[in-house]
């Protein structure tokens, strides 16, 4: 007969719960670390998607200093976990905060400057600025 301490049991339950959470939430790995910017399109050739990617490439530093990680999904045929969680329609830009909450959803491309202004209004970002 094996004996387990209460602490060992609780730790294994927490680890199991954490793995289950990560398996169901495709954005769990970014929680408290980064602000995911998820860009959806029905095709990588969608003119809005192409324009959005060009705009982001013009000034990547402004989003990098705000801990933004860019994720894309241009395969409407594969209804993956990102599409299931965020429910995009055609071209959609979704910005999440570090807590994993959707803070911006747009159907048009946004410049890095517009995105940075939206991020700078977030409570956690204001705290980050105050600490600098």
Whole-number pLDDT of residue 55: 97
Residues 105-125: tens digit of each pLDDT: 999 999 999 999 999 999 888
pLDDT for the residue numbered 80: 86
Answer whether 93's CB lies under 8 Å from 104's CB.
yes
Residue 116 belongs to domain spanning: 27-131
Q: Are 28 and 21 in contact (CB under 8 A)?
A: yes
- Does residue 34 form part of some domain? yes
Q: Give the pLDDT confidence score for residue 23 in this predicted structure.
A: 56
- Asked whether residue 14 is assigned to any structural domain, the reply reads no
104 is a domain residue: yes
Angle between helices 47-58 and 112-120 (to 10 degrees): 70
Work out how many domains the chain is built from and give that number.
1
Whether 20 is covered by a domain: the verdict is no
Residue 109 lies in a domain: yes
CATH of the domain at 52: 3.40.30.10
User: Residue 85: what pLDDT?
Assistant: 92
Return all residues near 68 (Cβ < 8 A) that are at least 6 apart: 34, 35, 36, 37, 95, 115, 119
Kindly tell me if the per-residue pLDDT of 29 is higher than 90.
Answer: yes
pTM of the model: 0.78
Confidence of residue 126 (pLDDT cuts 50, 70, 90): confident
Q: Does 19 reside within a domain?
A: no
What tens digit of pLDDT does each residue of 36-83 get? 999 999 999 999 999 999 999 999 999 999 999 999 999 888 888 999
Would residue 6 count as lying in a domain?
Answer: no
């Amino acid at each position: 007969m094996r004996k387990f301490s209460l602490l060992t049991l609780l730790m294994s339950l927490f680890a199991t719960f954490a793995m289950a959470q990560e398996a169901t939430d495709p954005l769990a790995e970014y929680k408290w670390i980064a602000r995911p910017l998820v860009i959806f399109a029905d095709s990588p050739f969608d003119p809005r998607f192409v324009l959005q990617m060009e705009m982001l490439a013009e000034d990547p530093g402004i989003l990098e200093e705000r801990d933004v990680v860019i994720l894309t999904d241009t395969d409407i045929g594969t209804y993956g976990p990102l599409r299931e969680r965020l429910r995009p329609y055609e071209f959609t830009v979704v910005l999440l905060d570090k807590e994993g909450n959707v803070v911006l959803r747009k159907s048009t491309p946004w410049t890095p400057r517009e995105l940075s202004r939206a991020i700078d209004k977030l409570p956690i970002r204001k705290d980050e600025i105050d600490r600098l």
